[in-house]
A and B are shown apart, each in its own frame.
Chain A
């Protein structure tokens, strides 16, 4: 039983028919990067085969065709996340670049020594290291919203943390390790009340649930295309218009200028001001096709399917002797990723043994070392799900874990 026609969907993902180590691939690492449907591959291939030319630069048909498709993709993506206009949508390489753009452009322009940035303990390194660097460079202080035992954010002390020095608040809407879903409004409204700006890391939420940045009222929102059926090399930074207007460019060069003389340079309008050089426009168009695919399924249905899948995975994992689930076990507040440990088996050994069975999971610290320090764990294992994940694959995971336990005599 599923809210999605998973069998139909799987037909669009040729890689799911591949075999690994002689067994059918059971791909449970979509939180790291998702697989791509033929519709996305075809959209990109068509450009390379039939219409390719650079954007913005030519007055001939091919170049104008590229520009039109590129602009279309921006519109689709703006609509997908509920942005007021395509001008709020900046194409970047990935969420990491989007977050760095905010840290470098907004952070270095508007923050000064003594100001504070409020983060959470479960941030991905992508939303951690840029702030660390800013803090070192500018004498900005970092503070952290703590977690509860269940792995949700402990917002009881939020008002105490939101001192007048806090200028920026940033958090992942869905934790890539704990799976915890945080209601963004529960933080954003209180942060805005003290005049702080809020960045939401939407890497693990945009692919998996309906998003509306205007309803959320965040100031910036970053995510990666490759985790939501799109190609690598393309991501999005959304920003409120007035902020984007006030910010200096992050990188400079071609395309992003208004005019250049020997004495002076003016910047292009938002969003192009932030897009120096030839953009990954084929990838942007590929992401547009991914957004079409997801919109046709419906993001409510995607979320429901993942809720069902994670609920089933939690149920099955709970039966395994020695298994510990990391993070919330309530599917209502857990995204489509299940992080766990198996007593006396190092996650890397588990990952290797599961690979022998064709089961692909992630093992390690998932780019969240501070969180693992907080949890007192060196590494964890993570199985993550998407629109093409079947219950049968969870069964294969559980069976492979039993087999690994047997092999290692645990």
Chain B
């Protein structure tokens, strides 16, 4: 209860990691949550063989839960193979956030993952590998 907005979460909100966007991104994708206006854009730079996330960065605005969870997610996925990202689930993000969220706020926490995955999948479809 007391630790909903605990220091780790607030720290990610105030000092977001992998934040501000990438100049030479391979993939850029943005979505917002129409219910509250939370907005997140994710820029991804893939390795030359297209299998690895070389660098990743997000930008956006919204509530603490949406922005801090995106920051945590960026830290998690930077340098990872795409196949790892595909395996990421809702529960993984909830574990990163590490606090109990009500249903309405789970949506906020999931925005970053949704943007990341949708961006990746759209890229894969456009480039004919799945």
Chain A: residues with CB nearer than 8 A to chain B? 21, 346-349, 352-353, 355-356, 363-365, 369, 372, 378-379, 407-409
Whether A349 contacts B5 in the complex (CB less than 8 A), given A408-B10, A409-B10, comes out as yes
B34: chain A residues at CB < 8 Å are 369
Number of interface residues of B (CB under 8 A): 18
Contact A408 B64, CB 8 Å, known A352-B4, A352-B105, A353-B5:
yes
Q: Is the CB of B64 within 8 A of A349?
A: yes
Q: Which residues of A contact B10 (CB under 8 A)?
A: 408-409
Q: By the criterion CB–CB under 8 Å, are B36 and A378 in contact? A: yes
Interface residues in chain B, defined as those with a beta carbon under 8 Å from any beta carbon in chain A: 1, 4-5, 10, 34-38, 61-65, 102, 104-105, 108
Q: Which residues from A are CB-within-8-Å of B64?
A: 346, 349, 408
Is the contact region of chain B dominated by helix, strand, or loop, or is it mixed? loop
Q: Which residues of B contact A349 (CB under 8 A)?
A: 5, 63-65
Chain A residues with Cβ below 8 Å from B62 are 346, 378
* CB-based A-B contact count at 8 angstroms: 46
- Bound Cα distance from A372 to B34, whole angstroms: 12
Kindly identify which residue among A21, A348, A365, A407 contacts B63, using a CB–CB cutoff of 8 Å: A348
Looking across the interface, which residue of chain B has its beta carbon closest to that of A378? B37
- Asked whether, in the complex, the Cβ of B105 is within 8 Å of the Cβ of A356, the reply is no
Seed contacts A378-B37, A408-B5; 14 additional CB < 8 Å A-B pairs: A21-B1, A346-B62, A346-B64, A348-B63, A349-B63, A352-B105, A363-B36, A364-B36, A365-B35, A365-B37, A378-B62, A407-B5, A408-B10, A408-B64
Least CB distance from A170 to B in Å reads 24
> How close is B10's CB to chain A, nearest CB, in angstroms?
7
Task: State the CA gap A395–B52 with chains docked (Å).
Answer: 54
5 closest cross-chain pairs (CB), A and B: A378-B37, A346-B63, A348-B63, A349-B64, A349-B63
How far is B45's CA from A359's CA once the two chains are assembled, in angstroms? 44
Could you write out 22 A-B pairs with CB less than 8 Å apart? A21-B1, A346-B63, A346-B64, A347-B36, A347-B63, A348-B63, A348-B105, A349-B5, A349-B64, A352-B4, A352-B65, A352-B102, A352-B105, A356-B1, A364-B35, A364-B36, A365-B36, A378-B38, A379-B36, A379-B37, A407-B5, A408-B64
